[in-house]
Amino acid sequence: MKHNVCVFCSSSGTLAEKFYEDAKELGKLLGENNMTLVYGGSSVGTMYETAKYAKIYGAKIIGVMPEKLYGFGVSSEECDEFHLTPDMRTRKSKMDELSNVVIAMAGGFGTLEEVSEMIVQKQLGYNNKPIVFLNTNGFYDNLFKFFENIIDGSFAKHTARELFYVASTPQEAIEYILNYDYKMRERTKEDIYTKAV
């Protein structure tokens, strides 16, 4: 199947070098595996490094950016296809529509909000996309501890752990995607709701 990979990541240009290295490697692997990159369309941060290297190695690049950010002049020329949206919510919807895979690299509040929505979509059975956290330098370790607090406190079922995968390297992320079972299973009431205490 054709993999259209939505990558959520950072627009910061002041990160530790390892984050840019993983962005470049992920982009390279996307291209080498004939995947399409769907991303925020930016020319800065790990967003740009992923897109630049994906392009170098033959991937198609689709950028999606809201008009306000586009007005700041930070759109990338790497894009083969570019979608302008009126706002951030429409941007997320368009990226969701264009992709069948999600990777969350290290990022800020925007990345956290974006990947959280995708997890909920999958939890409720609106899709069965592979959702991967690329956990460079253990960036998400504390978030996963918080996820365990959610599960331990019965705010989510223990099966919530199956909604996403944690990869330590770009290669591990790609291997998981290539071996993912896309078969959709209907979510039941029992799957979604925890029992009352």
Domains of the chain as residue ranges with CATH: 4-179 (3.40.50.450)
Give the pLDDT of residue 187: 83
CA dihedral of 33, 39, 44, 49, whole degrees rounded to 10? -10
Give the pLDDT of residue 196: 46
Strands (E), the chain: 4-8, 36-39, 60-66, 81-85, 101-104, 131-134, 165-167
Give the pLDDT of residue 184: 79
Low-confidence ranges of the chain (pLDDT < 70): 194-197
Residue with tokens 């054709």: 2
pTM of the model: 0.95
Cα gap 78→117, rounded to integer Å: 27
